[in-house]
């Protein structure tokens, strides 16, 4: 039989600007749980690593965590089942969207391995186009050695040139 862990109210861990209650060993957790964001942590000596972040609307299920779809991933990240811990951030007066926003911030900052499918892919804020052969009017001489510089990358508003002799690079605005 699992028991409620009374120390969860006295322990806390700060993640970003949020103060989570806990951490407590995951195997000492007991329901109920309602309207919160939770962290699954792996304890490594005196350090806790965030393995997963999620939210819960409401549960009375004792096997909520052991039946979770990511439980296998949590176990792979942990040294042992005993090293898995739980920390919670109660958000009774907040919407599910607010909980998702908190989760998004934590995922972006900490990149928990078991949330890897939730980590947004960072897109570059520039466009790279393949270099085209320079026309005779685009020939540039290297300021260092005087050799010809060839276009290496054509970006949206500029072109990167590299010297064929000394390797010096230069950027010119596209006209």
Residue-wise pLDDT for 29-39, tens only, equals 989 999 999 99
Name the average pLDDT for the chain. Answer: 85
> Model's pTM, two decimal places?
0.64
Residues 137 and 164 in one domain: yes
CATH of the domain at 21: 3.40.1440.10
Q: Which two tokens stand for residue 78?
A: 């942990």
Domain coverage including residue 100? 6-118
Phi, psi of 28 (to 5 degrees): -100, 5
Number of domains composing the chain: 2
Q: Is residue 1 part of a domain?
A: no
Q: Is residue 123 part of a domain?
A: no
Q: What is the pLDDT of residues 48-102, one digit of tens each?
A: 999 999 999 999 999 999 999 999 999 999 978 899 999 999 999 999 999 999 9
Instruction: Out of 118, 136, 152, pick the residue that ends a domain.
Output: 118
Residues 109 and 137 in one domain: no
Spatial contact of 163 and 139, defined as CB atoms under 8 Å apart: no
Which run of H or of E encompasses 37? strand 33-44
């Amino acid at each position: 039989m699992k028991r409620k862990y009374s120390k969860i109210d006295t322990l806390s861990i700060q993640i970003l600007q949020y103060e989570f209650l806990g951490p407590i060993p995951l195997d000492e957790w007991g329901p109920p749980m309602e309207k919160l964001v939770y962290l699954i942590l792996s304890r490594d000596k005196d350090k806790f690593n965030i393995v997963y972040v999620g939210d819960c609307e409401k549960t009375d299920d004792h096997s909520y965590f052991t039946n979770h779809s990511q439980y296998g991933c949590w176990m792979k990240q942990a040294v042992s089942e005993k090293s898995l811990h739980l920390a919670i951030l109660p958000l009774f007066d907040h919407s599910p969207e607010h909980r998702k926003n908190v989760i998004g911030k934590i995922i972006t900052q900490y990149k928990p391995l078991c949330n890897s499918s939730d980590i947004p892919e960072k897109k570059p804020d520039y466009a790279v186009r393949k270099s085209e052969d320079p026309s005779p009017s685009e020939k540039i001489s290297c300021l260092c050695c005087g050799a010809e510089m060839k276009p290496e990358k054509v970006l949206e508003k500029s072109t990167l040139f590299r010297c064929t002799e000394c390797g010096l690079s230069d950027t010119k605005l596209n006209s």
